[in-house]
Structure 1
Amino acid sequence: MKRKKLADARDRLIERMAEYKAHTGWRVIIIFDAHLVPGIEKKKRHHNVEIVFTREKETADERIEKLVSELKGRRVQIHVATSDLTEQWVIFAHGALRKSARELELEVNKIDDLITAKVKAIQGQRPLSKIPLTDEVAEIFEKWRRGMK
């Protein structure tokens, strides 16, 4: 049961980060800590989000630090979302910016709200009929549809 809940939470995070990536256009890499799980590092792409499961005996923090070091010379600004204060200082020393998990959650929620508003606006603009009707004629048709006279 616990493993299923963890998998569901991981899937939900990936979905939300995919929406975040689609909205911001930024590259998104999610690193999951698998250092206690035997095996090699696994990388995959899901919903256009890069997902990394660390290798055995490697923590997510170690992988993040390695990745920041690899990417920092590429003239890109790197943001790392973590609420671990020690990790924030380490990645900051490597030239990356930090964002707490709470800050990222607020930003993602704001993006969700923007997407919802945009969808509602688009739906509101869509005509109910392919033939332009005056309000009066549309009201008559609506009464007919409901069986009223």
Structure 2
Amino acid sequence: MKILFVDGYNVINCWPNLNKIKEYSFSGAREKLEDILINYASFNNCKVYLVYDAHMVAGNVEKIHSDKYINVVFTKDGETADQFIEKMVNNLGRKSEIMVVTSDWLEQQTIFQRGAMRMSSLEFYHDVLKSEEKIRKKTKSNYAKDRNLLEDSISEDVLKKLENMRRS
């Protein structure tokens, strides 16, 4: 299973929709990102670590909220999201396919040296949009398949007569 590490605040500051939400509610932007990533992870069959910096919060201990597809992590006091991600990538080694989402250039280089792939926040935004479009198409096609339409149950001749009646 592919593992995806996302620098939460980096993504929130980069994505236009989340940046707008952040202006009036940081927690709202975090919740929206978590919802988006749960959909993305379930559709793409991957595990996501959504990591937020909490290193400036005095006395903060590492907090992890886990779900089937996502782990939301607030780093401990004195630890940045970048440091947490680097530590996790080192621990996982090259056993799994690992992707790190951040626009921090130095972090991208460090992660790449440790065997993980990297993607900028903006590239990931476009990847998420593509996945959401695929989900819409799939649900739309499933919806169309499951419908029972009258036209599927009657002959062509009767269908033409009904159409003529409708138009007159």
Match of 1:62 in 2: 83
Q: Secondary structure, in 3 states, of the residue corresponding to 1:113?
A: helix
Counterpart code for 1:118: K
SS in 1 for 2:39: helix
Cα distance, 1:79 vs structure 2? 0.7
Match of residue 127, structure 1, among 133, 147, 153: 147
Give the TM-score normalised by the residue count of structure 1. Answer: 0.82
> What SS class does the counterpart of residue 57 from structure 1 fall into?
coil
- Structure 2 counterpart of 1:50: 71
Percentage of matched positions with identical amino acids: 31
> 1:87 offset after TM fit, Å?
0.5
Q: How far apart, CA to CA, are the structure 2 residues paired with 1:128 and 1:12?
A: 35
Q: Which runs of 5+ in 1 are unaligned?
A: 144-148
Cα distance in 2 for residues equivalent to 1:127 and 1:118: 15
**2:108 corresponds to:** 88
Q: CA deviation at 1:47?
A: 6.0
Aligned residues: 144
Alpha-carbon displacement from aligned partner over 1:79-134 (angstroms, at most 9, x marks no partner): 1000010110111111111111111111111010001011111111223369x621
Instruction: Kindly indicate whether the alpha-carbon contact (under 8 Å) linking 2:47 and 2:70 is maintained by their aligned counterparts in 1.
Output: yes
SS at match of 1:79: strand
Distance 1:105 1:112 in 2: 11
How far the C-alpha of 1:4 sits from its partner, in A, is: 5.7
Aligned-residue CA RMSD (Å): 2.8
Q: Distance in 2 between matches of 1:26 and 1:127?
A: 31
The answer to whether structure 1 residue 101 and structure 2 residue 135 are counterparts is no
Quote how far apart the aligned CAs of 1:34 are.
0.8
Give the Cα separation in 2 of the matches to 1:9 and 1:23: 21
**CA, structure 1 residues 3+57, in 2 after alignment: closer, same or farther (shift >3 Å)?**
farther
- Tell me the TM-score normalised to structure 2 length: 0.74
What is the DSSP-based 3-state SS (H/G/I as helix, E as strand, rest coil) of the residue aligned with 2:46?
A: coil
Provide the secondary structure at the position in 2 that maps to 1:37.
coil
Deviation at 1:49, TM superposition (A): 0.6
Distance 1:47 1:16 in 2: 14
Bigger shift: residues 26-35 or 46-55 = 46-55
In structure 2, C-alpha distance between the alignment counterparts of 1:126 and 1:2, rounded to whole Å: 40
| 8 Å Cα contact 1:32-1:54 kept in structure 2 | yes
CA contact (8 A) 2:22 2:29 kept: no
